[in-house]
């Protein structure tokens, strides 16, 4: 009897070819598991495609709410943008997919889990590290790393065996999409000098020519209202993305440092992610105490780097999560965004019932309650150490006019 293997199935070219290739070359029974994280998946079509390719069973899991609650929301709390730009669109979805792959592998008594990632990408790291964290007893298989196919070969193989895929020789883009955004690779995009063609964009096509203001409300860090209307998290993400994307906002074109050491040109569409990150970060500026805000800003890039590198299920990530959660208790209020045609989006207002901004302290008008006379003593004590050091050194004023002289 052939052993069973659960395959992370997307319905795309590589995983569709992998179903048949694994069954033929490795003599395994393939259980195709597709996880819907907001990519607009047609469950019936995906199941049909997997079974037609040779899977013994096809499972589609609706994980949109779980993905938003357990994975996107922590990323928002961490203001997570890898290398200060990329909001982890693909990286965030991998651990929730692995969670369900492991569940299905155990339910079907599978000996291993397979994925369709190449040897050059980040996703192989994310899948395999997460699988070994959750189910170290399972074998991990990567057919794309061992088969002799180029992308053109895979297209030919699919055509030869009647495997229906959306890719073609004239449209070689590789697309990964979920409710947090969309990643686009391959084809002309592999040349970092070439401007991305207009046809690669679907979420940020400018369909409106007027400016728009939206108000996003947060409750303890959770985005919960849009223009005063209470919405569930997945619906709010979708509606924010639709609003700002219709003005062309939300595109990223960057050269990115992959975990395997390769620089890669990446194009992303993430209108909702970028808008919500902008709003959330701005509200934190209003509500977080200074030292807490500064320390959080220092830790945020590390959180993003861990997730990018596939370390979602790791002790350090878990510890940083606890810190991020604790910072959100008072991140409550509203942020007003103005979106203009041409892809411009900016914060134009913010307010909170627990704001640490005090008008009577900040103003220079007559209502000023700040005790200016206290400043002299504060500044004197603040600079006391420098004054003492300078006095013992004989003063540094003479050296300032001779930079580099050492005199």
Instruction: For the chain, 407 residues long, give each residue's pLDDT as a single digit of tens.
Output: 469 999 999 988 889 999 999 999 999 999 999 999 999 899 999 999 999 999 999 999 999 999 999 999 999 999 999 999 999 999 999 999 999 999 999 999 999 999 999 898 899 999 999 999 999 999 999 999 999 888 889 889 998 888 887 665 556 678 899 999 999 988 899 999 999 999 999 999 999 999 999 999 999 999 999 999 999 999 999 999 999 999 999 999 999 999 999 999 999 999 999 999 999 999 999 999 999 999 999 999 999 999 999 999 999 999 999 999 999 999 999 999 999 999 999 999 999 999 999 988 888 887 888 889 999 999 999 999 999 998 888 766 556 555 555 54
174 tagged catalytic: yes
Question: Cα–Cα distance between 210 and 247 in angstroms, integer?
Answer: 8
Question: Cα–Cα distance between 109 and 241 in angstroms, integer?
Answer: 40
Per-residue confidence (pLDDT) for residue 1, from 0 to 100: 46
Selected catalytic residue, list 48, 132, 174, 258: 174
The distance of Cα 219 from the centroid of its chain, to the nearest Å, equals 21
Selected catalytic residue, list 94, 99, 126, 247: 94
14 tagged catalytic: yes
62 tagged catalytic: no
The CATH class of 176-351 is: alpha beta
The pairing of beta strand 29-36 with beta strand 4-8: parallel
360 tagged catalytic: no
pTM of the model: 0.92
Kindly list the domain boundaries of the chain, sorted by start residue: 4-171, 176-351, 365-395
CA dihedral 45, 173, 262, 36 (to 10 degrees): -20
Per-residue confidence (pLDDT) for residue 404, from 0 to 100: 58
Selected catalytic residue, list 36, 123, 282, 309: 123
Task: Tell the CATH topology of 4-171.
Answer: Rossmann fold (3.40.50)
- Find out whether 306 and 314 touch, Cβ atoms under 8 Å: yes
Give bridge partners of residue 229 from the DSSP assignment. Answer: 226
Give bridge partners of residue 223 from the DSSP assignment. Answer: 218
H or E element: which one contains 335?
A: strand 333-340
- Closest alpha carbon to 135 in 117, 108, 167: 108
- Find out whether 133 and 27 touch, Cβ atoms under 8 Å: no
Per-residue confidence (pLDDT) for residue 78, from 0 to 100: 98
């Amino acid at each position: 009897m052939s052993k069973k293997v659960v395959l992370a199935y997307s319905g795309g070219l590589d995983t569709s070819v992998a179903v048949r290739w694994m069954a033929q070359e490795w003599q395994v029974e393939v259980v195709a598991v597709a996880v819907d994280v907001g990519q607009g998946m047609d469950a019936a079509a995906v199941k049909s495609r997997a079974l037609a390719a040779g899977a013994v069973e096809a499972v589609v899991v609706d994980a949109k709410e779980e993905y938003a609650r357990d994975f996107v929301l922590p990323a928002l709390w961490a203001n997570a943008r890898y290398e200060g730009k990329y909001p982890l669109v693909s990286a965030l979805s991998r651990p929730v997919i692995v969670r369900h792959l492991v569940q299905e592998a155990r339910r079907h008594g599978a000996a291993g889990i397979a994925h369709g990632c190449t040897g050059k990408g980040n996703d192989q790291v994310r899948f395999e590290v997460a699988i070994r964290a959750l189910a170290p007893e399972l074998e991990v298989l990567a057919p794309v790393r061992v088969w002799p196919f180029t992308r053109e070969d895979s297209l030919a193989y699919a055509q030869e065996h009647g495997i229906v895929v959306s890719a073609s020789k004239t449209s070689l883009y590789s697309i990964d999409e979920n409710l947090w955004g969309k990643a686009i690779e391959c084809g002309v995009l592999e040349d970092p000098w070439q401007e991305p063609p207009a046809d690669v964009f679907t979420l940020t096509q400018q369909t409106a020519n007027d400016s728009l203001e939206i108000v996003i409300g947060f409750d303890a860090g959770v985005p919960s209202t849009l223009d005063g209307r209470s919405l569930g998290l997945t619906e709010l993400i979708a509606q924010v993305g639709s609003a700002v994307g219709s003005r062309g906002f939300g595109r990223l074109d960057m050269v990115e440092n992959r975990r395997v050491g390769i620089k890669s040109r990446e194009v992303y569409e993430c209108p909702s992610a970028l808008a919500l990150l902008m709003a959330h970060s701005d509200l934190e500026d209003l509500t977080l105490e200074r030292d807490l805000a500064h320390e959080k800003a220092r830790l945020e890039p590390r959180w993003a780097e861990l997730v990018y590198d596939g370390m979602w299920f790791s002790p350090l990530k878990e510890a940083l999560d606890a810190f991020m959660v604790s910072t959100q208790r008072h991140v409550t209020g509203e942020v007003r965004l103005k979106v203009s045609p041409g892809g411009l989006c900016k914060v134009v207002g913010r307010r909170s019932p627990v704001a640490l901004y005090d008008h009577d302290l900040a103003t220079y008008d007559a209502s000023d309650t700040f005790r200016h006379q206290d400043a002299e003593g504060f500044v004197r004590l603040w600079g006391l150490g420098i004054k003492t050091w300078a006095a013992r050194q004989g003063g540094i004023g003479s050296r300032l006019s001779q930079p580099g002289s050492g005199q």
